[in-house]
Amino acid sequence: MESVTPPSERFTRTHQVARRERAQTVAKWVFGAMSLAMVLPLVAIIVYLLYKAWPSLGWEFLADIPRKGMREGGIWSAFVGTLYLVGLSLAISAPIGVLAAIYLNEYARESWLNRLINMAVINLAGVPSIVHALFGLGAFVYGARFGFSILSASLTLAIMTLPVIIASTREALSAVPRAFRDACANVGATRWQTIRAVVLPNSISGILTGIILQVSRAAGETAPVMFTGAVFFKAVSRGDLFPYRLGDQCMALSMHLYTVSTQVPNVKESIPYATAVVLLGSVLLVNASAIVLRIWLRGRKKW
């Protein structure tokens, strides 16, 4: 590569060095621009949606129900429906997911069952949402005869979020050093005593973050609820916090966005934009709070 240089010229900048440094600078700027190309869409999208949605945005839009065939009014029924679906589905999947992760990480030995569960979790996490929709339809709506209902839709969402909760909880649990568990075993603590005193308190932040992130995922999913329990329109009264029962169908924010933007003609232009802003805003808010929580708890790490 480089020829032998006489002592007097060592450490001086040759053309080659300058060229190599130029290549480095160019690489840095190109990659930097590529990264910027991801930041810009996020900002541009949010700004544009806000701009278009502005005429409709306001508390009134959130608290009012859709009127005149969804061409006017607000999104209350859909918003509450999404709260129901997300709340119920996580009430099911979070405990099962966390406990399953505890089993896998703390109890299970290396065995075929454990490998099977691992494989299942990995694959389940990659199953397309429309396949979950098919499963929900086949298993809960028809198979278990729950019909098109909040229950069916929530169960479908729960199964969908389960593997991700298992995976994120396991990650949080395995971040607790093995030495702590050994130390506890050495003084005669049972596994559960170890888990309760040492493992859980030091992984709870990671576990919670994982669950919170699934809140936003469940809220944004459309296909799985569209065929299992969410409907185009459901009459509820304005501002009613408890309009639905388990066996009812409900509206959902994500599906409402799909409906007003593709299925309903002559909608006031700002309504779909405002719906998108509310959905996007809630999701990003939830995610941002998970991130803040994580950063805050990381600062209090104990080892």
Partner 1 sequence: MGAPRPQRPKASIAIERIIEFVIRLSGVSAVFFVAAIFFFIFREAVPVLWDPDFDFAEFLFSKEWYPTSVNNVRYGTFALTIGTLSVTGVAIVLAVPFGLGAAIFISEFCSPKIKETLKIVIELLAAIPSVVWGFIGLTVMSKLIVSVTGTAVGVNLLNGGFILALMSVPVIVSIGEDALKAVPDSYREAALALGATRWETVFRVLLPAAKNGLLAAVLLGVGRAVGETMAVLMATGHAVQIPHGLLDSVRTLTANVAAELGEAPAGSSHYRVLFLTGVLLFAITLVVNVAADLAVRGIRRK
Partner 2 sequence: MTASRLAIEVSDLRVAYGTKEVLHGISFDVKENEIFAIIGPAQSGKTSLLRCLNRTIDQVAEASVTGTVKIDGLDVRRVKDVFALRRKVGMVAPLPVGLPLTIFDNVAFAPRCAGMKARGELEAIVERCLRQAALWDEVKDRLGSLGTALSGGQQQRLTIARALSHDPEILCLDEFSIAIDPVTTMRIEDVLKELQSRVTIILVTNLVQQARRLADRTMFLWNGDIVEVGSTDVVFSDNPADRRTYGYVNGIFG
Give the bridge partners for 73, in sequence order: 66
SS3 106: helix
Does 18 interact with partner 1 (rule: CB under 8 A)? no
C-beta of 202: minimal distance to partner 2 in Å? 5
Helix axes 129-136, 150-174, angle to 10 degrees: 130
Residue 4 or 179 having the CB closest to partner 2: 179
Calculate ∠ Cα 163-165-171, nearest 5°.
105
Question: Taking CB under 8 A as the criterion, which residues in 181-240 touch partner 1?
Answer: 190-193, 213, 216-217, 219-223, 226-227
Question: Looking at 7-15, 58-66, 71-79, 127-135, which segment touches partner 1 (CB under 8 A)?
Answer: 127-135
Q: Alpha-carbon distance 214 to 43, whole Å?
A: 23
Question: Looking at 35-43, 96-104, 190-198, 215-223, which segment touches partner 2 (CB under 8 A)?
Answer: 190-198
According to CB under 8 A, which one of 4, 37, 187, 235 is a site residue for partner 2?
A: 187
SS3 29: helix
C-beta of 37: minimal distance to partner 1 in Å? 6
**Choosing among partner 2, partner 1, none, which partner's interface includes residue 123 (Cβ < 5 to 8 Å by kind)?**
partner 1
According to CB under 8 A, which one of 108, 198, 293, 297 is a site residue for partner 1?
A: 108
**Choosing among partner 1, partner 2, none, which partner's interface includes residue 96 (Cβ < 5 to 8 Å by kind)?**
partner 1
**Choosing among partner 1, partner 2, none, which partner's interface includes residue 242 (Cβ < 5 to 8 Å by kind)?**
none
If one counts every other C-beta atom within 10 angstroms of the C-beta of residue 50, the result is 16
**Choosing among partner 2, partner 1, none, which partner's interface includes residue 183 (Cβ < 5 to 8 Å by kind)?**
partner 2
Residue 14 or 190 having the CB closest to partner 2: 190
According to CB under 8 A, which one of 193, 204, 263, 291 is a site residue for partner 2?
A: 193
C-beta of 181: minimal distance to partner 2 in Å? 8
Does 197 interact with partner 2 (rule: CB under 8 A)? yes
Sign of CA dihedral 194, 197, 202, 204: positive
C-beta of residue 218 within 8 angstroms of C-beta of residue 90: yes
Which helix H or strand E contains 66, and what residues bound it? strand 66-67
Does 201 interact with partner 2 (rule: CB under 8 A)? yes
According to CB under 8 A, which one of 50, 62, 96, 198 is a site residue for partner 1?
A: 96
Structure tokens at 236: 């509820």
C-beta of 287: minimal distance to partner 1 in Å? 4
For the range 230-235, what are the long-range contacts, defined as Cβ-Cβ under 8 Å and sequence gap of 24 or more? 230/81, 230/85, 230/153, 230/255, 231/148, 232/259, 232/263, 233/66, 233/70, 233/77, 234/77, 234/81, 235/65, 235/77
Residue 20 or 238 having the CB closest to partner 1: 20
**Quick one: how far is CA 175 from the chain centroid?**
21
In degrees rounded to 5, what are phi and psi of residue 145?
Answer: 55, 35
C-beta of 78: minimal distance to partner 1 in Å? 12
Binding stretches for partner 2 (CB under 8 A): 109-110, 179-180, 182-190, 193, 197-198, 201-202, 302-303
